[in-house]
Structure 1
Amino acid sequence: MSRPARLVFSDVDETLIAVKSMFDFLAYYFGATRGTPGARHAADVRRELSRRTSAGAPREAMNRLYYRAWAGEPAARVEELARAWYAERSGAPGFYLAATRRALEAHRDAGDTLILVSGSFPAVLAPIAAEVGATRLLCSLPAVHDGVLTGRLVGDPCIGEAKRTAVRDMLRSRPTVDPAHCYAYGDHVSDLPMLAEVGNPVIVGGSPQLRGLLPQARVLHPQAVTDAPTHRPCGEVSHGAGV
């Protein structure tokens, strides 16, 4: 009998890669384009978002606030430096969490469809998707006007409940795929809405909070070797093999 079709959803930051891509690239970009004042600006943005998050601000609101820092930046320049950021960062040991990468590549080699789900944005995520063979991005989409980032998003940030909606929409678009056969990988409680939509949730890193909420989930330790097994909630980007 043929193997059932499966979709495999994966968070990115601290699930597939060790860094927080949004902040790491923010520092890289503004340091490259503005020097020391730019690096200071990026650090100030991160510090302010961290302060507000610690004070209880919703992650969705903080995701929107993050993108305001990009207002006025040329989209082509952002994409160019995102490629340079990836080329530099991905060559360093430990950029990818080895166990997750191997698990996703095993899924890919078995014919499963890989989909990255992230609050980060396409310029940063595209080279990661190409590396692991993901064919879709469900992510936050910065708005662009006349080639310049506006500081706003198209639709909602791809955080929390928006991840659930995005996964449900993707599953609904594939009626022959049984969610019970699908997988999702995440590391944080904000990934719970996505993880709960599939029959095979995988907790990367063993978050006690997630383990308590999803006691049936498999736990994948990042350094372990694995043998793998109208409202617009998130932007969707399709990618071919040449991304």
Structure 2
Amino acid sequence: MTIGPLRAAFFDVDETLITGKSMLSFLTFHWAREGRAASRVASARAALSHQLRSGMPREQVNRAYYRLLRGSRETDLAESGRLWFAREHPRGLFHPPVREALRRHSRAGDLTVLVSGSFSACLDPIGQAVGSDLVVCTIPEVAGGTLTGELTGSPMIGRAKEEEAQRVMAAFGLRPEHCYAYGDDASDLALLTSVGNPVAVGGDPALTAHAVRANWTRLPGPALNGLLGKAA
């Protein structure tokens, strides 16, 4: 008789499991591979950064990112993702304290789940490398093998992460009070509060204040590797 997992551990990815921001790093790599001008990458970064600084909801910024990929072939993005990961992994892609936490959960037989506003081109190589059981992410809309620039469903940010975590726990018959979640930003609070064992990573002021008040476990954050506030 096979016994399923008794617990799940949910991991935000950008600046939690990895040291940087997968979406922007990937975009720079993919457009360079396509021969796009560096000025276009700089312009895209500046536009997304302005949207965040102006207070635009992260969900909208996330949607704006995927509109930049309108017309990209799904197979080309997947290949860029594999090549991007192969380049970044030796450079210290993974954040050691969180990577080790994921290893511990895996050894204990816990269900390990990556939850991110990023997408499969970036996340599939990461998930394969760490041996995660599930990857829950934003899903770009595809028509005829090409991205339309829109999304299938909602960006996997904020409340959407909580809803997916609840769905996974219900599907496996897991008790939320036994489960874990790791996140680095105030936008991860909905996910973190959906389980009994939240872990705050890094020094985001709003998240840290909540973690201190609630006496949550805390882990140090990675050295920042990127130019944009968290969009995933």
Normalising by structure 2, report the TM-score. 0.90
Q: What are the within-5 Å matches in structure 2 for residues 155-174 of structure 1? A: 155-174=153-172
Residue aligning to 1:7: 8
SS at match of 1:14: helix
Give the helix-richer structure, 1 or 2. 2
Q: For the structure 1 residues 208 and 3, does the alpha-carbon distance in structure 2 shift closer, same or farther, using more than 3 Å as the test? A: farther
1:178 to partner: Cα distance: 1.1
Q: What are the within-5 Å matches in structure 2 for residues 23-102 of structure 1? A: 23-35=24-36, 37=37, 39-92=38-91, 94-102=92-100
1:3 to partner: Cα distance: 11
| One of 180, 183, 199 as aligned partner of 1:183 | 180
CA distance in 1, matches of 2:189, 2:147: 30
The answer on whether the counterparts of 2:112 and 2:133 sit within 8 Å (CA) in structure 1 is: yes
CA deviations on 1:154-197 (whole Å, 9 max, x unpaired) are 0000011111111111112122x111110000000000000000
The answer on whether the counterparts of 1:206 and 1:220 sit within 8 Å (CA) in structure 2 is: no
Gaps of 5+ in 1: 224-243
1:70 to partner: Cα distance: 0.4
SS at match of 2:209: helix
Larger CA deviation: 207-216 vs 143-152? 207-216
1:207 to partner: Cα distance: 2.9
1:4 to partner: Cα distance: 7.1
The answer on whether the counterparts of 2:161 and 2:191 sit within 8 Å (CA) in structure 1 is: yes
CA distance in 2, matches of 1:200, 1:55: 33
CA deviations on 1:27-67 (whole Å, 9 max, x unpaired) are 000011024x1x32222111101101101100000100100
Residue aligning to 2:230: none
Higher RCO, Cα 8 Å, sep 6+? 2
Gaps of 5+ in 2: 223-232
CA distance in 2, matches of 1:42, 1:152: 20
The answer on whether the counterparts of 1:114 and 1:134 sit within 8 Å (CA) in structure 2 is: yes
CA distance in 2, matches of 1:100, 1:135: 16
Residue type matched to 1:8 in 2? A
Residue type matched to 1:47 in 2? A
CA distance in 2, matches of 1:207, 1:13: 13
Residue aligning to 1:226: none
The number of aligned residues is 218
CA distance in 2, matches of 1:3, 1:46: 43
Residue aligning to 2:138: 140
| One of 150, 154, 164 as aligned partner of 2:152 | 154
1:19 aligns with 2:20: yes
The answer on whether the counterparts of 1:75 and 1:147 sit within 8 Å (CA) in structure 2 is: yes
1:149 to partner: Cα distance: 0.8
Normalising by structure 1, report the TM-score. 0.86
Identity percentage of aligned residues? 42
CA distance in 1, matches of 2:139, 2:75: 15
| One of 91, 110, 113 as aligned partner of 2:111 | 113
CA deviations on 1:52-97 (whole Å, 9 max, x unpaired) are 11011000001001000000011101101110000011111x3111
Residue type matched to 1:18 in 2? T
